[in-house]
Structure 1
Amino acid sequence: MSGSVTPGDGRARRWAGQRAARRAEVVEAAMAAIAEHGPEATTEQIAGRAGVPRPALYRHFDGLEDLQGAIAEAALELYSEALAPVWSPRGTPREMLVAAIAAHVRWLAAHTELYRYVLRAAGVTTAVTDIRHRIADRMTGLLTGGYPGLPATVAAPLAAGAVGLVDGATERWLSSADPLPLDELAEHLARWVWSVLDVALREVAIELDPDVPLTAG
């Protein structure tokens, strides 16, 4: 009968569900192992944290690259969730910048080892680049849509440069022996990014007060 479900179909679905659940458990254990042992965490340490023999890891993953990709995907999902001020900005331009940059710095400070693991892992460079592009695209949309209305030919490279500035400065801050307080770093970065934006806006005869909410017009 069309649309009927065989017992084999049910077993396959149960196995797929169990495999997905077990993958998620191993990924969670892996992130805990990375937090404890650093970005050089081994598969033995990950397996130990997951409570399974090392060979058992690959019952649920198609090799090391698949495991690393799943860890990176979970990490970047957590990072993306933490960037709510980027996806839904509110307030004045200065408040938007401070909130977005602070969210970025705060997450990286809390998950430094995981972030470094993701950067080192094979086959995940594209995923990291993709989320940076998403952030830049969101900023481009804010600059081109409505007001202030920068042309896309200016806004796109400007947004990419701002993301690179924040990313590079945060990377250096994470490695500093005597780092600025987190909130102070975010304030500095917001001022620097605003300075760059202000120059670009003035070049096309747009003047914005960073402490006044944007209005259409």
Structure 2
Amino acid sequence: MSTRADGRDTRWAQHRAVRRRELVEAALRAIRRHGPSVGMDDISAEAGTSKTVIYRHFGDRTGLYSAVAESVDQRILDSLRTATADWNTQDPTALVGPMVDAYLSLVEKDPEIYRFVVTRPLLDGPVEHDPVAGLTDQIGAQVAQVLEAHLTLQGRDAACAQTWGHGLVGFVRAAADHWMDSERSRPRQDVVADVTSLFAPALSGMPSTHQTTHDQD
């Protein structure tokens, strides 16, 4: 009896997970069609169901927003991992260009989705775990690990790796926001070059502030 019940529970949980993914994909299509100010009526029409069904799966508008944002976050993380799979700690400047280009490519490909995630039009209340901040933290931690390995290999003080890693990611996100607000007035490759040229001197082997101070002593 309990085994059959457990089997039904498992199948139901799998069904709900599949249905949630389908509804998230429908929401993404609606956002692309109607823009970041998309409404629940638009999303339910795209999904071919009622708002009641959507709320049953996500709780409320905030729950749907969180699910959509988490899906977008995962796509960004997967793209960045692919673009930077060949990072070489011997040359950390090589990580900046691919990372920036991968991020901006996704923004350029899906501008309405990006605006939706950033502007948060569906929110009815606070989000328990902010998916935008969470994504920035995850990418920043990855970049910081690479920078720490590079600085350590060079025999340099690696204490700045966390600051540099998270600062670089925050800078890229701010640059992407500005790029979108300006209607992508500069070609993507030019923005990538702008960011790379700014950070390359710090990453190419210049002595850290700690080493410089020590040398002066």
Query: Is the structural similarity TM-score above 0.5?
Result: yes
Q: 1:44 to 1:178 in 2, by over 3 A?
A: closer
CA-to-aligned-CA distance 1:19-76 (integer Å, 9 cap, x gap):
1111110000101111111111111111111111222212322222221111111111
Which residue identity is paired with 1:140?
A: A
Contact kept, 8 Å, 2:79 with 2:102, in 1: the verdict is yes
Output the aligned Cα RMSD: 2.5
Is 1:67 aligned to residue 71 of structure 2?
Answer: no
Distance 1:118 1:31, change over 3 A: same
Secondary structure of 1:6 counterpart: helix
Which region of structure 1 is more displaced relative to structure 2, 9-18 or 70-79?
A: 9-18
- Equivalent of 1:194, from 193, 200, 208? 200
CA distance 1:65–1:140, change in 2 (3 Å): same
Aligned with 1:60: secondary structure? helix
Closer/same/farther in 2, CA of residues 76 and 49 from structure 1, 3 Å limit: same
Say yes or no: does 1:52 pair with 2:58: no
Q: Which runs of 5+ in 2 are unaligned?
A: 213-217
Give the CA deviation at 1:125.
6.5
One-letter amino acid of the structure 1 residue matched with residue 137 of structure 2 = H
Q: Pick from 167, 178, 182: which aligns with 1:176? A: 182
Q: CA deviation at 1:6?
A: 3.2
Match of 2:139?
135
Deviations 1:63-112 (A, max 9, x none): 22221111111111111111023465248434322111101111111122
Counterpart Cα distance in 1 of 2:108 and 2:155: 34
The verdict on how the C-alpha distance between 1:177 and 1:14 changes in structure 2, with shifts beyond 3 A counting, is closer
Q: Report the TM-score when normalising by structure 2.
A: 0.82
Aligned residue for 1:147? 153
Q: Which consecutive aligned stretches of 4+ in structure 1 deviate over 4 angstroms post-superposition? A: none
Aligned counterparts of 1:100 and 1:134: Cα–Cα separation in 2? 13
Q: C-alpha distance in 2, partners of 1:134/1:150?
A: 24
Count of residue pairs brought into register by the alignment: 203
**SS at the partner of 1:25?**
helix
Are residues 1:114 and 2:113 paired? yes
Distance 1:107 1:125 in 2: 23
Shift in Å, 1:170: 1.5
TM-score (norm: length of structure 1): 0.82
